[in-house]
Amino acid sequence: MNDGIYDNISIEDYHANQTHVSATTLKYAKTSLKHFDWYRRGCLPREEKSQFAFGNAFELALLSGTEYLEKVAIFPDKELIEKALNENKDLKVPRNSTVYKDGAKEFYEKNKGKYIIQDTGNESFDVVEEMLSSCYQDKAIQALIKNTEYQLSLFWTDPETGVKLKTRPDICKRKKNVIVNLKTTLDGSPEAFSKEMNKWDYPLQACVEITGCLRSGLMEQVDSYFWLVVEKVPPYNATIYEFSEQDIGSVMDGFHYLLSKLSKAEKENKWPGYTQEASNEFGILEARIPLWYKR
């Protein structure tokens, strides 16, 4: 894959590319360079979770109704249960019946490659409608998602280290120099989102996206980076969080330092574990005794 801006690459082809490093892979390097190497070589498990499909489905619903209809399929759980009960009204667990299982198998074969969401319940079509309603009621959110480009794939080579990188921002407003990252979550409150940012390294991902927009030539500058956080449980709050300029500078320094360590490891073909944090030549770490234990 050559460096550049692509608007016609599927999410599957984007992930299949192994020459460029994504933010997800970089997060493993923060844990240890050995984690990075093992993950890149496919030696660590990569599980496709249902919330990823739901998040992608909601993104399409919010940004492109046409693609939502083309790429998302709603699993007819209620319909299949009714069909099974019509066949045998005495069934105690309709989902275990041959009728239900055959119907589900036929559905998945027919909709292979699509994002699958449920017809009712958690992460369902009904929930998508409620989440959309919350977003449409907020004028700031309406302005943020209007006239945007989405699912652009950006590939570039870091000029200082030679590390090849890639990113796929959720939303780009090229004329406004704005990037928006869409997150669906159970709790979008400031306290909860702060914890999620730390747990999943959202700031690092943001710095990769900002750098990608600049290095690929998509934008000459990035004036603002926002997270649009939408709850997928009542009351379905939709909230905009801004990545402050001061925090961007701090996290960006850490991002560049991580690239320098990665570049060195590549050149030397040495992938240390947690000993990379040691301040001595022997790789010995100081044990961190919890405060509560000392008391």
User: Which CATH number is 224's domain given?
Assistant: 3.90.320.10
Convert the pLDDT of each residue in 109-138 to its tens digit: 999 989 999 999 889 999 999 999 999 999
Is residue 167 within 8 Å of residue 179, measured between CB atoms?
no
Q: Say what percent of the chain tops pLDDT 90.
A: 82
pTM of the model: 0.90
Confidence at residue 208, expressed as pLDDT on a 0 to 100 scale: 98
Tokens of 67: 């693609």
Confidence at residue 47, expressed as pLDDT on a 0 to 100 scale: 58
The confidence band for 50, taking pLDDT boundaries of 50, 70 and 90, is low
Confidence at residue 277, expressed as pLDDT on a 0 to 100 scale: 84
Pairwise CA distance, residues 291 & 294, whole Å: 5
276: pLDDT strictly greater than 90: no
Convert the pLDDT of each residue in 246-266 to its tens digit: 999 999 999 999 999 999 999
For residues 47-68, average pLDDT: 83
For residues 183-198, average pLDDT: 97
Query: Which residues neighbour 157 within 8 Å (Cβ) at sequence distance 6 or greater?
Result: 3, 163, 164, 165, 215
Q: What is the 3-state secondary structure (H, E, C) of the chain?
A: CCCEEECCCCHHHHHHCCCCECHHHHHHHHHCHHHHHHHHCCCCCCCCCHHHHHHHHHHHHHHCHHHHHHHEEEECHHHHHHHHHHHCCCCCCHHHCHHHHHHHHHHHHHCCCCEEEECCCCCEHHHHHHHHHHHHCCHHHHHHHCCCEECCEEEEECCCCCCEEEECCCEEEHHHCEEEEEEEECCCCHHHHHHHHHHHCHHHHHHHHHHHHHHCCCCCCCCEEEEEEEECCCCCCEEEEECCHHHHHHHHHHHHHHHHHHHHHHHHCCCCCHHHHCCCCCCCCCCCCCHHHHC
When divided into structural domains, the chain yields a total of 2
For residues 43-60, average pLDDT: 79
Confidence at residue 136, expressed as pLDDT on a 0 to 100 scale: 96
Same domain membership, residue 214 and residue 157: yes
Last residue of a domain, one of 137, 162, 190: 137
Same domain membership, residue 199 and residue 76: no
Q: Say what percent of the chain tops pLDDT 70.
A: 98
Out of 41-45, 142-146, 158-162, the most confident range is 158-162
Same domain membership, residue 97 and residue 81: yes
Residue ranges making up the domain that contains 280: 1-45+138-295
Pairwise CA distance, residues 280 & 282, whole Å: 6
For residues 183-197, average pLDDT: 97
Pairwise CA distance, residues 207 & 167, whole Å: 10
Tokens of 81: 């249960």
Same domain membership, residue 254 and residue 108: no
Confidence at residue 3, expressed as pLDDT on a 0 to 100 scale: 95
Tokens of 72: 């998302």
Same domain membership, residue 26 and residue 145: yes
For residues 73-101, average pLDDT: 95
Last residue of a domain, one of 117, 137, 157: 137
Higher pLDDT, residue 166 or 288: 166
49: pLDDT strictly greater than 80: no
Tell me the average pLDDT of the chain.
93
Q: Phi-psi region for residue 4, left (φ > 0), alpha (ψ -120 to 50) or beta?
A: left
28: pLDDT strictly greater than 90: yes
For residues 203-213, average pLDDT: 98
Same domain membership, residue 202 and residue 185: yes
Last residue of a domain, one of 87, 104, 137: 137
